[in-house]
Structure 1
């Protein structure tokens, strides 16, 4: 098992700073965020994120991405793409960039639910069966193009989309080649929507379990009441060791199914400053992995500039 960081969660660092800091802390790899984003007066996770590579001109950025990553001694755990499966031009370009970098795998987003406002878009109003069927059709094309480029396209388990759960993702990809399509299982997202007990969910994914994202979340009771008079709860991101999900139990489930690949952290909590947060997360992951009986591949000492 190897540990990396998704740069959506490192908005204050430039790419060079992110690579330098993560290497110094002892991380194995990095998962670069690739998307065109809105500007913001202050760096944020979703807008003004300094550690994001623009999708526009991504082909021209490939040499610089490769240089920064390689010189830091980091590996690619994949690319954090935002191209949606129905945007065939965008998908083609990000698959090609993944191949050129040797990053092996990249997230290709599925369609949002009909009542979703994800990304600031207007809800489509389409039914789940319509959206699921459309996503399947697009992903058949995605699988073919991923095979052409020799990479893997990843479906993320994400609230507000047609694949919020492991069950829905397995159904979406059933029959497609698991060498070229797979699933990102995400502990934090599943606490918001799509929760299934980790062990049977991972077993269900079988050969489609390709990647793991780890963050944590919690539900908080507000002072509001709905029209029927019931309490209103909202979800918020939490530090890895403070949320409702047990990272230790999650790692035990991963050990049970023999998962021995990348675990990528995307911690969107803000209680602790960024550098302290990432360093603390790595220490916590190592302890959890050890307690779960997992083997950490190529463990590096903090400050090492060589690949593990």
Structure 2
């Protein structure tokens, strides 16, 4: 089983510290977060989406960029991906990320997909995404870097089915799917094996995290609302042992990338526990 870490989940570690921690845990691949730290967040406590010390600054120099490759290389890790927060249709920014990925030897990037919040018709957003991905596909072929679309809540690709509908226009050598069952707790659940069978050659990568549900009664107690929240890997709604079996049933041999947002453990311990738990689940499958 090949393991990786998306550095959004290790905000307190510098690149060199993260590479060492990954090596200590037996995690081979690193998915580098590609996002600047807001100036006003620089003095804040490290956090996933603001003061993340393990992020590539899009405005960095080539020397700054190569720091991440060197950190991985020093500890025998692989720079697997560059993971930005792109806007659908921003071809110029997408090409810049492709260039960075090629520079540091990463094999894929995440691309931008329209969000969905009821303010625009899905069909318009879908057409916009198809036009964008046609241009992305050309870039991916030119740079030798795959572009992946993530199954993500609050977008037009929350499920395997809707993601497949979008990517099926394209060559799976250049456009793939980042499958994230944790996101599907919030929105987009389908039978895991059925979705994976549908994705077929488009399945490019898997993110590993877990979520659960919180019930909030109304003030008068007459009704209640439910919302998703992040929880530790072995305590959520995603049955990861089953998901791993389903992934193996379709011949998946790629990486499993940790993206734990529960905040239960300090980063180094989280990585060690992730590797230990995934190996237990993998061993269970082999013994069945």
1:179 aligned onto 2:136: no
Deviations 1:233-268 (A, max 9, x none): 121101110111111000000010000111101000
Residue deviations 1:62-88 (CA, integer Å, cap 9, x gap): 321111110011012322222223111
Question: Which range moved further: 126-135 or 200-209?
Answer: 126-135
> 2:271 is matched with which residue: 278, 294, 301?
278
**Is the aligned partner of 1:82 residue 2:75?**
no
Structure 2 residue matching 1:293: 3-state secondary structure: helix
Matched, 1:56 2:49: no
Seen in structure 2, the aligned counterparts of structure 1 residues 128 and 59 have a Cα distance that, compared at 3 Å, is farther
In 2, Cα distance between equivalents of 1:238 and 1:58? 37
Q: Following superposition of structure 1 onto structure 2, how do residues 114-125 of structure 1 map, counting pairs within 5 Å?
A: 114-115=117-118, 125=119
Q: Does 1:68 align with 2:71?
A: yes
Residue 290 in 1 paired to residue 272 in 2?
Answer: no
Report the TM-score when normalising by structure 2.
0.94
Q: Which has the higher contact order (CA 8 A, sep 6+)?
A: 1
Pick aligned residue for 1:242 from 235, 244, 259: 235
Distance in 2 (alpha carbons) for counterparts of 1:58 and 1:264:
27
Query: Are residues 211 and 221 of structure 1, via their aligned partners in 2, closer, same or farther at CA, if it must alter by over 3 Å?
Result: same
Question: What RMSD in Å do the two structures reach over aligned CA positions?
Answer: 1.7
Find the counterpart in structure 2 of residue 214 from structure 1.
Answer: 208
Preserved contact between residue 87 and residue 114 of structure 2 (Cα < 8 Å): yes
Please list every run of at least 4 consecutive aligned residues from structure 1 whose deviation after the TM superposition is greater than 6 angstroms: none
Q: 2:245 aligns with which of 235, 252, 269?
A: 252
Q: 1:233 to 1:58 in 2, by over 3 A?
A: farther
Q: Give unmatched runs, 5+ long, in structure 1.
A: 116-124, 295-308
CA offset digits 1:104-142 (Å, max 9, x no partner): 111112111144xxxxxxxxx221111111011101110
Please give the TM-score of this superposition, normalised by the length of structure 1. Answer: 0.88
Matches within 5 A, 1:96-115: 96-115=99-118
Residues 90/60 of structure 1: CA separation in 2 closer, same or farther (3 Å cut):
farther
Q: Secondary structure, in 3 states, of the residue corresponding to 1:145?
A: helix
- Indicate how the Cα distance of structure 1 residues 60 and 161 shifts in structure 2: closer, same or farther if over 3 A, else same: farther
Distance 2:19 2:142 in 1: 30
The answer to whether the 8 A contact 1:85-1:142 is kept is: no
1:8 and 2:8 are equivalent in the alignment: yes
Instruction: Determine the structure 2 residue equivalent to 1:204.
Output: 198
Give the counterpart of 1:163 among 145, 157, 164.
157
SS in 2 for 1:187: coil
Match of 2:46 among 21, 32, 43: 43
Segment of structure 1 superposing worse, 148-157 or 52-61 = 52-61
> Number of aligned pairs?
284
Structure 2: gaps of 5 or more residues:
none
Secondary structure class of the residue paired with 1:32: strand
